[in-house]
């Protein structure tokens, strides 16, 4: 078991009607004027934004607005937000949306609290020294940004998608009302559920002594999200199923399912982020498209974990099978599940067909972010990343 630091400072307010508390929570966090960030308009259409603004008014927190955060959120909007927030004298960021909105708010919060170009932090040229406080009203169970230390931004000029991971950006509070997720398109619900599971799987397939308690939490989370994702395919208005996956979204990416493990593998995420940068695909679907190829490629380096996963999560009957056969059955069960919820299992099904040159470009981008290679299930380098992309094509 590895030593670890667990830090989850976000206050979680969970349940129906929670968005009405946004004002009082922001005021308690010291907000006098908030920049309310949102996406392409779902929160306008659903009325959530109006309820949040009314709650800010009631609590005496002034506000300005910044809409337009897109999936794979763009750096240009971050710059625009920093300028607007400076002009408006904002001292708090309130994200009303999903990972793309929250990550935009975090990036603006870095930009306001530090000198120089905020993109430097994403290029790892500098480390942020401060961050304005961020609060969240979550509208999709997916990225886990509502409790994570991470912000992922795409630079549309250079086609780079990069993350900045720093505890300074962990949100002060996260309001999670499962009802708000009922307006999601089915595809986005499925993408979200895939990403939630992947955040735990990235931490599960690691080497070097794992922690029994962490494994138990991880396996329970994976079974719970699987079961409720299937319920949501048939019954998207099932409150309890929405609630289960919404809390799982946070628990899966706030560090809990990594305690005592080897820091996480995160190769699938690295491979997907380049696909998001070049083809603007939905993050969860991109993960589903590469995971099976990654898993088959690294399986022999981490066989005991794949066997445990197959048996404890997917109920694979181990009798009469070799470890390789058990592990493969677990991978196949995962892919069957992806198909059932409408997710792709390769890039063609995702709707992209990268050429060899484009694959080389994505490999180079993975190496730029990970000059010493990446991975814990199996440590991989450029040729391995290329092979996995080719398998997933
Ligand atoms: O923009 P609007 O109109 O709101 O529509 C969004 C968007 O089209 C829609 N949506 C969200 N809530 C809705 C809704 N539509 C109807 N009703 C609602 N209640 O869903 C679409 C996707 O939204 P987005 O915020 O992009 O989703 P998600 O939370 O999956 O975020 C994805 C981004 O987060 C990054 C991903 O790479 C991607 O850029 N990630 C961030 C992480 C982090 N900060 O910790 C970790 C993740 O691994 C991930 O990399
Ligand atoms: Zn993710």
Domain boundary among 147, 180, 213: 180
Structure tokens at 144: 């886990």
Q: What is the pLDDT of residue 262?
A: 87
Look at residues 362, 174, 172, 370 and name the one whose alpha carbon lies nearest to residue 271: 362
37 and 147, same structural domain?
A: yes
191 and 154, same structural domain?
A: no
Structure tokens at 189: 């619900």
Domain assignment of residue 214, yes or no: yes
Q: What's the CA-to-centroid distance between 103 and ligand 1, angstroms?
A: 9
- Three-state DSSP at 86 gives helix
- Beta strands of the chain (E only): which ranges? 11-14, 33-37, 62-66, 92-97, 134-138, 150-155, 160-165, 173-176
161 and 109, same structural domain?
A: yes
The answer to whether residues 209 and 1 touch, using CB atoms and an 8 Å cutoff, is yes
The answer to whether residues 267 and 367 touch, using CB atoms and an 8 Å cutoff, is no
- Determine if ligand 1 sits within 6 Å of the CB of residue 180: yes
- Determine if ligand 1 sits within 6 Å of the CB of residue 374: no
> Taking every pair of C-alpha atoms in the chain, what is the biggest distance, in angstroms?
69
Q: What is the pLDDT of residue 31?
A: 98
Domain assignment of residue 6, yes or no: no
Domain boundary among 134, 163, 180: 180
Say what angle helices 382-392 and 356-369 make with each other, to 10 degrees: 140
- Determine if ligand 1 sits within 6 Å of the CB of residue 145: yes
Domain assignment of residue 102, yes or no: yes
User: 257 vs 3, 63, 174, 237, 317, CA distance in Å?
Assistant: 14, 36, 19, 28, 25
Q: How far apart are CA 161 and CA 145, in angstroms?
A: 16
Ligand 1 atom 40, closest CA: 143
- Determine if ligand 1 sits within 6 Å of the CB of residue 172: no
Sign of the Cα pseudo-torsion (152, 155, 159, 162, in order) = negative
- Determine if ligand 1 sits within 6 Å of the CB of residue 10: no
Alpha-helix residue ranges (DSSP H) falling in 254-371: 267-279, 283-298, 303-314, 323-340, 347-350, 356-369
Look at residues 204, 200, 361, 389 and name the one whose alpha carbon lies nearest to residue 293: 389
152 and 117, same structural domain?
A: yes
- The count of structural domains within the chain is 2
383 and 300, same structural domain?
A: yes
Pocket test for ligand 1, best of 177, 179, 283 (most atoms within 8 A of CB): 283
Q: What's the CA-to-centroid distance between 159 and ligand 2, angstroms?
A: 19
Look at residues 76, 75, 89, 93 and name the one whose alpha carbon lies nearest to residue 132: 93
131 and 145, same structural domain?
A: yes
Domain assignment of residue 4, yes or no: no
308 and 199, same structural domain?
A: yes
Q: What is the pLDDT of residue 263?
A: 86
H/E element holding 316?
Answer: none
Residues paired with residue 13 on neighbouring β-strands, in sequence order: 175
Nearest-atom index, ligand 1, CA of 149 = 45
The domain that holds 93 is classified in CATH as 3.40.50.1970
Please write the tens of the pLDDT for every residue from 91-107: 999 999 999 999 999 99
For 358-386, the DSSP string reads HHHHHHHHHHHH-TT-B-SSS-B-HHHHH
Q: What is the pLDDT of residue 33?
A: 98
The domain that holds 381 is classified in CATH as 1.20.1090.10
Domain boundary among 146, 180, 214: 180
Domain assignment of residue 36, yes or no: yes
306 and 157, same structural domain?
A: no
Residue ranges of the chain with pLDDT lower than 50? none
Q: What is the pLDDT of residue 8?
A: 97
Of all ligands present, the nearest one to the C-alpha of 70 is: 1
Domain assignment of residue 335, yes or no: yes
- Beta strands of 147-294 (E only): which ranges? 150-155, 160-165, 173-176
314 and 200, same structural domain?
A: yes
Q: What's the CA-to-centroid distance between 273 and ligand 2, angstroms?
A: 9
Q: What's the CA-to-centroid distance between 140 and ligand 1, angstroms?
A: 7
272 and 168, same structural domain?
A: no
Nearest-atom index, ligand 1, CA of 140 = 12
Q: What is the pLDDT of residue 209?
A: 79
Domain assignment of residue 3, yes or no: no
362 and 258, same structural domain?
A: yes
Please write the tens of the pLDDT for every residue from 224-271: 999 999 999 999 999 999 999 999 999 999 999 999 998 899 999 999
Nearest-atom index, ligand 1, CA of 253 = 45
Q: What are phi and psi of 33, to 5 degrees?
A: -140, 125
Structure tokens at 123: 């290029």
DSSP summary character for residue 255: S
CA angle 140, 145, 148 (to 5 degrees): 145
Structure tokens at 164: 């900045």
Q: What's the CA-to-centroid distance between 300 and ligand 1, angstroms?
A: 34
Domain that holds residue 226: 184-391
- Determine if ligand 1 sits within 6 Å of the CB of residue 269: yes
State the CB neighbour count (10 A cutoff) for residue 364. Answer: 13
Ligand 1 atom 16, closest CA: 184
Q: How far apart are CA 213 and CA 297, in angstroms?
A: 27
159 and 146, same structural domain?
A: yes
Q: What's the CA-to-centroid distance between 29 and ligand 2, angstroms?
A: 28
Domain assignment of residue 2, yes or no: no
Distance in Å from the first CA to the final CA of the chain: 36
């Amino acid at each position: 078991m590895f030593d670890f630091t667990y830090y989850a400072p976000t206050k979680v307010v969970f349940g129906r009607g929670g968005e009405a508390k946004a004002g009082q929570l922001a005021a308690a966090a010291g907000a006098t004027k908030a920049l309310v960030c949102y996406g392409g308009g779902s929160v306008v259409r659903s009325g959530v934004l109006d309820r949040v603004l009314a709650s800010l008014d009631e609590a005496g927190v002034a506000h300005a607005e910044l809409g337009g955060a897109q999936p794979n959120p763009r750096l240009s909007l971050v710059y625009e937000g920093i300028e607007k927030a400076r002009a408006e004298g904002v001292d708090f960021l309130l994200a009303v949306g999903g990972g793309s909105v929250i990550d935009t708010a975090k990036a603006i919060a870095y930009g306001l609290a530090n000198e120089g170009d905020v993109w430097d932090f994403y290029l790892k040229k500098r480390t942020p020294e401060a961050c304005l406080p961020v609060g969240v009203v979550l509208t999709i169970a997916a990225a886990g940004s509502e409790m994570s230390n991470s912000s992922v931004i795409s630079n549309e000029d250079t086609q780079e998608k990069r993350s900045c991971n720093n505890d300074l950006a962990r949100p002060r509070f996260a309001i999670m009302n499962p009802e708000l997720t009922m307006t999601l398109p089915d595809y986005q619900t499925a993408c979200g559920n895939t990403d939630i599971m992947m955040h735990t799987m990235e931490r599960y397939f690691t080497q070097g002594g794992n922690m029994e308690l962490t494994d138990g939490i991880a396996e329970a989370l994976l079974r719970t999200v699987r079961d409720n994702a299937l319920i949501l395919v048939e019954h998207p208005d099932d409150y309890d199923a929405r609630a289960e996956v919404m809390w799982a979204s946070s628990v899966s990416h706030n560090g809990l399912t990594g305690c005592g493990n080897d820091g996480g593998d995160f190769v699938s995420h690295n491979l997907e982020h380049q696909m998001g940068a070049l083809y603007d695909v939905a993050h969860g679907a991109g993960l589903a498209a590469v995971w099976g190829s990654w898993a088959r490629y690294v399986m022999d380096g981490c066989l005991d974990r794949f066997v445990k996963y197959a048996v404890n999560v997917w109920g694979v009957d181990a009798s009469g099978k070799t470890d390789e056969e058990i592990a493969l059955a677990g991978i196949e069960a995962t892919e069957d599940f992806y198909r059932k919820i409408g997710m792709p299992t390769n890039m063609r099904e995702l709707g992209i067909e990268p050429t060899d040159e484009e694959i080389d470009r994505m490999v180079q981008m993975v190496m730029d972010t990970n000059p010493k290679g990446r991975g814990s299930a199996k440590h991989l380098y450029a040729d391995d990343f290329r092979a996995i992309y080719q398998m997933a094509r």
